[in-house]
Amino acid sequence: MPSHGNPQPLVQDILQQLEIDPDDICKVTKRFLQQIKEGLDHPRPWQLPSYVFHVPDGSEKGTFLAVDLGGTNCRICLVDLLGNSTYNVTQTKQTVPEHLRINPRYQPLFSFIAKALREFLDQHELRHQIDCPTGSKRIPLGFTFSFTCEQTSISKGTLIQWDKGWDIPEALGKDPCAMLQESIDEMDLPVLVSALANDSVGTLLSRAYTSQDQGSTLAGVIIGTGTNAAYLERSCNVRRLPNTETKPMHDTIVLNTEWGCFDDDLKVLPITPYDRELDASSINPGQQQLEKRVSGMYLGELMRLVILHCHERGVFNMVLDVDSPCNCQYGIDSSFLSLIARDRTTESWDATKDIERVLSARGVTPDDARILTQLADSIARRSARLAGSALGAIIIQSERLSGPVSEKCAVEVTSLPNDQNDKQRPKQPKRICGLLSRIGDYFKRFIYSLTKKRSVENESLDQGSEQNFIDIGVDGSLIELYPGFEAHMRGALRDIQEIGPEGEKRVRMGLARDGSGVGAALMANAAT
Ligand code: ADP
């Protein structure tokens, strides 16, 4: 349908609806911070304890298997942790077929994984070759399972809910490690599922393992099919955990925020008619509201709904074929947004051919391409700014802007007057332990900084003293591949009053390559 009238007011209106100004960012961050605190105080399906109490320091060693079940793919990895912050990984990847992602029964999915594991062991002749760290005959396996689980130990958990379009009702309330072990045992494989790892926890651990500035890694952030983050919290703040065992023994604990569900009651998240439509026709209406505005699974669909809305109102000159992916739910992948954004950054900007090909459209004009690019940019920018806002809430909660987490914990643990554990926990020795461990930490960091090679690949450009950095490991195709995603996240961090431009400069984000696989191996190491 040819464009009639002036399309600009309609397009401008949509762009405006997708804009989140600095005031909104502050409101959203405040709300997320409120939820973070609520999840520390009460059992909620977010702020989930991972039972990982320390982040690695790069000295961890051993050979481990890892299974990484993401929103789209299943990776099988063999990870050799070499003990000097480096590792070797061998891996295979298979896409999980839709009939296994949506199935009344759990067995088909877990047999699929066990079969892939068997092929991997056979292909690499691994059945008898690995020296297991515990002398056991079974190879320890860390299982990265990227769905919401309430854990009761490092190797046990209960699946609370599916997301990212998955739905296997029989698995709800069951332990993912036990379900996987069942299928592994049926195939008689010499493998022991010894750790349950969320992908964001894995990303944090693997970033800390490879980071040269020990103690600077605060969080792991995933922005791929789904979105989530894990961070290091002071144990004394985690009031939802029974006090008696863990808290006196460990200053810190890694929490899986499950931030995709933040503000599910929509108190502050921006909402457009496209968000409403996407939510209403999704498999889980009313849930995962942040995820539905941020993650790779949904950005393509938001773009599709916006395109259809504009197309029906004669904004474009282009004609969509009947079998255009615009006419099919989830027909547009979020890589389309990256594709046209990347086209714009090249000198001879011409996205028309890419648009014709991906959308099955004819007669795309430069004007159409310009409008589509603006729309894609706004959707991705909103996603990145909301992710920045959520990260900002974690940074504020960590109080890292005024010192490293271990110091804060040492101070807070000893100064809590009404802590129920006061009677069990001798105050003075704890304070001395904190001091000694800090001196030890600084000494270790000094030695470490003398011996460690710098790895440039995983770092942003801004460098400085380790004391100043707040290091964030990131993973996922969207954050990695959408041009300028990190820059938009940083823009949001600058907009947050408590962080501002000075605080934002101290945040270093870097890809945690092989985050989930290496992270799962590190968890398996922690469990042995
Ligand atoms: P997983 O989340 O399964 O571990 P990824 O991190 O690769 O896997 O994320 C896959 C998601 O990323 C899919 O939703 C896909 O649409 C999206 N994606 C893949 N490539 C790109 C890209 N170039 N730009 C934006 N999104 C992308």
As a whole number of angstroms, the distance between CA 30 and CA 230 comes to 18
Tokens linked to 363: 């007669």
Is the minimum distance from the CB of 71 to ligand 1 under 6 angstroms? Answer: yes
What's the domain count of the chain?
2
- pTM, two decimals, is 0.84
What's residue 467's pLDDT? 54
> What SS3 state is found at 95?
strand
What's residue 518's pLDDT? 94
Identify the sign of the CA torsion 229, 235, 237, 238.
positive
Give the Cα-Cα-Cα angle 99, 105, 110 (nearest 5 degrees).
75
Mutational pocket test of ligand 1: of 75, 297, 334, the residue with most ligand atoms within 8 Å of the beta carbon: 334
Distance 371 CA to ligand 1 centre (A): 24
249 & 356 share domain: yes
What's residue 135's pLDDT? 58
154 & 263 share domain: no
Q: What is the pLDDT of residues 259-289, one digit of tens each?
A: 999 999 999 999 999 999 999 999 899 999 9
Amino acid at 110: F
As a whole number of angstroms, the distance between CA 509 and CA 86 comes to 19
Is the minimum distance from the CB of 477 to ligand 1 under 6 angstroms? Answer: yes
Distance 377 CA to ligand 1 centre (A): 17
191 within 8 A of 141, measured Cβ to Cβ: yes
Is the minimum distance from the CB of 297 to ligand 1 under 6 angstroms? Answer: yes
185 within 8 A of 170, measured Cβ to Cβ: no
Distance 457 CA to ligand 1 centre (A): 20
**Has residue 495 been placed in a domain?**
yes
Give the Cα-Cα-Cα angle 194, 58, 124 (nearest 5 degrees).
50
355 & 310 share domain: yes
Nearest CA to ligand 1 atom 21: 335
Distance 147 CA to ligand 1 centre (A): 16
- Residue 4 CB coordination number (10 Å): 9
30 & 105 share domain: no
Which residue range is the domain that position 229 belongs to? 1-42+223-402+459-509
CA-nearest of 41, 84, 99 to 210 is 84
Distance 299 CA to ligand 1 centre (A): 10
6 & 99 share domain: no
**Has residue 127 been placed in a domain?**
yes
- CA 15 to the chain's CA centroid: 27
Is the minimum distance from the CB of 260 to ligand 1 under 6 angstroms? Answer: no
Give the CATH number of the domain where residue 190 resides.
3.30.420.40
Across the beta sheet with 48-49, what order do the strands follow?
Answer: 48-49, 252-256, 227-234, 217-223, 470-475, 507-511
175 & 246 share domain: no
As a whole number of angstroms, the distance between CA 504 and CA 385 comes to 13
**Has residue 217 been placed in a domain?**
no
**Has residue 48 been placed in a domain?**
no
Distance 459 CA to ligand 1 centre (A): 21
ipTM score for this prediction: 0.98
CA-nearest of 87, 183, 172, 86 to 143 is 183
Distance 297 CA to ligand 1 centre (A): 7
Is the minimum distance from the CB of 334 to ligand 1 under 6 angstroms? Answer: yes
**Has residue 320 been placed in a domain?**
yes
**Has residue 269 been placed in a domain?**
yes
As a whole number of angstroms, the distance between CA 146 and CA 150 comes to 12
What's residue 270's pLDDT? 95
228 & 356 share domain: yes
Distance 418 CA to ligand 1 centre (A): 47
DSSP states of 49-62 as a string? E-S--S---S--EE
243 within 8 A of 15, measured Cβ to Cβ: no
As a whole number of angstroms, the distance between CA 212 and CA 461 comes to 15
Give the Cα-Cα-Cα angle 279, 285, 291 (nearest 5 degrees).
60
As a whole number of angstroms, the distance between CA 56 and CA 527 comes to 13
What's residue 165's pLDDT? 87
**Has residue 56 been placed in a domain?**
no
CA-nearest of 99, 91, 137, 84 to 116 is 91
Please state the atom number of ligand 1 nearest to the C-alpha of residue 339: 23
Is the minimum distance from the CB of 96 to ligand 1 under 6 angstroms? Answer: no
Nearest CA to ligand 1 atom 9: 224
34 & 107 share domain: no
376 & 486 share domain: yes
Distance 328 CA to ligand 1 centre (A): 19
**Has residue 184 been placed in a domain?**
yes
Give the CATH number of the domain where residue 390 resides.
3.40.367.20
Tokens linked to 156: 């046990």
Q: What is the pLDDT of residues 438-490, one digit of tens each?
A: 444 444 444 434 433 333 233 342 333 445 899 999 999 999 999 999 999 99
Which residues of the chain fall below pLDDT 50? 1-5, 406-466
24 & 119 share domain: no
Task: Please give the DSSP secondary-structure letter assigned to residue 282.
Answer: S
Is the minimum distance from the CB of 474 to ligand 1 under 6 angstroms? Answer: no
Is the minimum distance from the CB of 449 to ligand 1 under 6 angstroms? Answer: no
DSSP strands (E only) in 96-175: 139-145, 148-153, 156-161
302 & 228 share domain: yes
Amino acid at 456: V
181 & 280 share domain: no
Mutational pocket test of ligand 1: of 477, 486, 514, 518, the residue with most ligand atoms within 8 Å of the beta carbon: 477
Please state the atom number of ligand 1 nearest to the C-alpha of residue 338: 24
- Sorted by sequence, the CB contacts under 8 Å of residue 519 that are 6+ apart come out as 142, 144, 197, 199, 201, 202, 203, 204, 205, 206, 220, 512
